[in-house]
Structure 1
Amino acid sequence: MATKKRSLSSSGNSLLPWLGIATIILLLDQLSKITITKLFHYGESMAVTSFFNLVLVYNKGAAFSFLSSESGWQRHFFTVIGIGAAIYIIYLLRRHAGQRMFCWALALILGGAIGNVIDRIVYGHVIDFLDVYVGRWHWPAFNIADSAICIGAILFVVDELRRVGK
């Protein structure tokens, strides 16, 4: 009796393209953060358009600076959550490698999650630098990893709505 062997690059349902997308997101995220930290001092801002600034800020918490004012335990907590999420996402990518939109969503989330985990491990905080605003109202500063996670979440919802609609 022949058994089907799973691999990273089995034909048709390869895991490699999705890991490649996650790696590209990770590299763009880390290179942009290295660049911004070389060009800016903490808190420094540069207007780019009437609704967008570049600014160097640090986030010790999670999304929207959630828990950023805590004593430091959150760094380890969010690092463990990020690593756990990455492992689970790789498992899902392996199981569903043929589902294109679902895997795009997961790959974007994976690249973003690992990008922010690297920041937490190396710096103790996440580096944010994109500042979008309307008038005096600013969204919390974010980075490429955060953007990839948000786009991945939107794709995930769209994929689920399409699946329910069938």
Structure 2
Amino acid sequence: MSPARAGLAALLLTLAADQATKLGLYFGTDLVLTQPWRLAPFADLVVVWNRGVSYGMFQQDGALGRWLLVALSLAAAAALGVWMRRAGSRLLGVALGLIVGGALGNAVDRAVYGAVFDFVHLHAGGWSWYVFNVADAAIVAGVVGLVLDSLLPSSAPGRAREDAAPPL
């Protein structure tokens, strides 16, 4: 499978999983009324509407901010999608697909509901992590993939780069 096709597969799977979990939890359960749901001593399902970006920064209550964040998400997804089409390795293609799929999943929420539906809360003792969703997790995994791809030598098997100079 080419890097671009692997990236597209990751994008579509991420977008589908993100929207399926959000729609299933929000419309298919009574989580909104009965939260939190304890999954494990360190994990709960809750309902949080994030009107900002990562970690709740830059909260936007008005329509202008909402649509600016949608436009920014779509622009970033388009730019990363172009990069994904040109990816020289499957790891890079999949990493970019995860990021684009996550960005699109959160953009759909913001466009339809005015905020992103977050629902996973990890905690232990006095420590509490931000509430997140499948799209957020995919974006983080994609960034990790980008870092790993940048650390791998381009001469490794299966990692021929398109931008590499042709042999003499």
Counterparts of 1:53 and 1:75 in 2: how far apart (Å)? 27
Give the TM-score taking structure 1 as reference length. Answer: 0.84
Which of 52, 58, 81 is the equivalent residue of 2:43? 52
Count matched residues.
Answer: 154
CA 110–36 in structure 1, closer or farther in 2 if over 3 Å, else same: same
Give the TM-score taking structure 2 as reference length. Answer: 0.83
CA 114–105 in structure 1, closer or farther in 2 if over 3 Å, else same: same
Gapped runs of 5+ residues in structure 1? 1-11
* AA at the equivalent of 1:109: I
For residues 9-158 of structure 1, the aligned pairs below 5 Å read 13=2, 15-38=4-27, 39=29, 40-41=31-32, 44-68=35-59, 70-96=61-87, 98-158=88-148
**1:77, CA displacement in angstroms?**
2.0
Pick which of 37-46 and 130-139 moved more: 37-46
Gapped runs of 5+ residues in structure 2? 157-168
1:41 match: secondary structure: helix
1:93 match: secondary structure: helix
CA contact (8 A) 1:67 1:74 kept: no
RMSD (CA atoms) = 2.2
1:54 match: secondary structure: strand
Counterparts of 1:158 and 1:41 in 2: how far apart (Å)? 38
* AA at the equivalent of 1:24: L
**1:105, CA displacement in angstroms?**
0.7
**1:154, CA displacement in angstroms?**
0.7
CA contact (8 A) 1:119 1:127 kept: yes
* AA at the equivalent of 1:122: V
